[in-house]
Amino acid sequence: MTKVADEKVLVLDFGSQYAQLIARRVRQQKVYCEIVRHDISAARIREIAPKGVILSGGPASVYERGAPQCDTEIFRLGIPVLGICYGMQLACDALGGHVQSAPAREYGRAHCRVIDANNELFAGLPAKFEVWMSHGDQISQIAADFLSLAATETCPFAAVKHAVLPLYGLQFHPEVTHTPRGQDILGNFLIKVCRCRGTWELGDFARETIAAIRARVGDDRVICGLSGGVDSAVTAALISQAVGDQLSCILVDNGLLRKAEEEAVIREFTNHFKADLHVVHAEEKFLEALAGVVEPQEKRKRIGHAFIECFSDEAAKIENAKFLAQGTLYPDVIESGGTPDGPAATIKLHHNVGGLPEDLAFELIEPLRDLFKDEVRALGLQLGLPEDVVWRHPFPGPGLAVRCLGEVAKIRLDTLRDADAIVIEEIKKAGLYRKTAQVFAVLLPVQSVGVMGDARTYADVVAVRAIATEDFMTADWCHLPYDLLARISTRIINEVQGVNRVVYDISSKPPATIEWE
């Protein structure tokens, strides 16, 4: 992997839903950041030599048996540390403070009052500002060598600092947008406390990555899978700029693509790449592998295995192919437990990072492995990809199989494809495609009673999902205009055979996920 930055900050993940968001917020300050295991050793951190360490929040209580802990020698490395919520409680507890269940729990917005206005962490901030709290525990007593920096009405230690060690703590969450001055606080920690210069640029990343790929590949050929999504498109663009016509691309039409997806990919590929394109038609193989399977993770496994088989068979026909390029992103790696220092828990399987055979005949190239989705989009624009490719809504690796709840069969996929196409068409007509982060249809494994043309029907139910988000780690459902929802519903029921009911998903993430499976 290319050297991506000369200064780095580590986020120790204690199971927070916001750990990835913290890393993104740090990168938005032009400081490179990685997420690592909460139990990473102080010796390993010393070896990595980060400019700073951030301890994430988490759902546990520090006083519970089995609660995740960290190597307390981290606090004595001389590297600045910022604890957030659970991370703050953990640090204070380890160094002589006391944590207990709060008499008045805080969930939501709170008004924070700065006690020490001269502290670097709150430089440039007003004496009072709004923060986002999400905790049932809080620090009831700090050790003698800690200083209180800020408080809320019910939390006397909303921010603290160690008198000697470069250790800070925040009970609130600066990484969420509900803390309006959160980026200023993180920026103060990075620039004023950690002495980061904020010089990390995607342009540097692209140049270094292209040069590293060129040097590694030499005269050999690289194979890249195209899916129609921005990740594979940006991967292909990077590889193309690195090795030119030594790139061969493979599109596996697994029967799980959106309506007219294959034609769109071929058209875009022809317009923007000069490389060898192979299209594999494998719908029958995938449907056979998915027959009778309803469990989401099992669907992902079988799709991943079938994809590798199809891809490998086609790749074997390409002469002098030594490397396989994948559009794996940093969240994929984290959620799949795919890094030695990264979090161990697997949230879900990703076809890019799970299911590869041990005897893989190619060396992997994953040029986007260290990037988040928004960074990939920015990189795609830098590489000259058109906006309609760069801003295409995300599409899951397993395709429509995870939006076709229950049994995956061709007739059900065709129903879903037609409904989904109507949803996207109407969203675009309304001028809302770029204003929404992801919009799609879901075919439910239930049927409902309806009346169509004086006849009683018992037909399928389609759910429509539209979300707004900056980071895909948290998301709110979109308040689409009623007349738009009405048009979508009317068109689906009238034009898609076998559907008599349309519902709208109004759940946010968390507690729901963006995809239904």
Catalytic residues: 85, 173, 175
Q: Are 201 and 30 in contact (CB under 8 A)?
A: yes
Q: What is the rounded CA–CA span in Å between residue 153 and residue 158?
A: 10
Edge-to-edge strands of the sheet including 321-325? 276-281, 247-253, 221-226, 321-325, 363-365
Nearest C-alpha neighbor of 78 from the set 97, 54, 53, 95: 53
Nearest C-alpha neighbor of 393 from the set 481, 515, 506: 515
Q: What is the rounded CA–CA span in Å between residue 252 and residue 308?
A: 10
Q: Number of C-alpha atoms within 13 angstroms, CB side, residue 80?
A: 20
Helix axes 482-495, 410-429, angle to 10 degrees: 150
Tell me the sheet residues that pair with 247: 222
Q: What is the rounded CA–CA span in Å between residue 97 and residue 497?
A: 64
Q: How far is CA 162 from the centre of its chain?
A: 33
Q: What is the rounded CA–CA span in Å between residue 233 and residue 247?
A: 13
Q: What is the rounded CA–CA span in Å between residue 159 and residue 385?
A: 44
Encoded tokens for 164: 């000697």
Encoded tokens for 478: 């979109």
Nearest C-alpha neighbor of 186 from the set 131, 119, 121, 127: 121
Q: What is the DSSP string of 45-101?
A: HHHH--SEEEE---SS-TTSTT-----GGGGGSS--EEEETHHHHHHHHHTT-EEEE
Secondary structure class of 477 (helix, strand, coil): strand
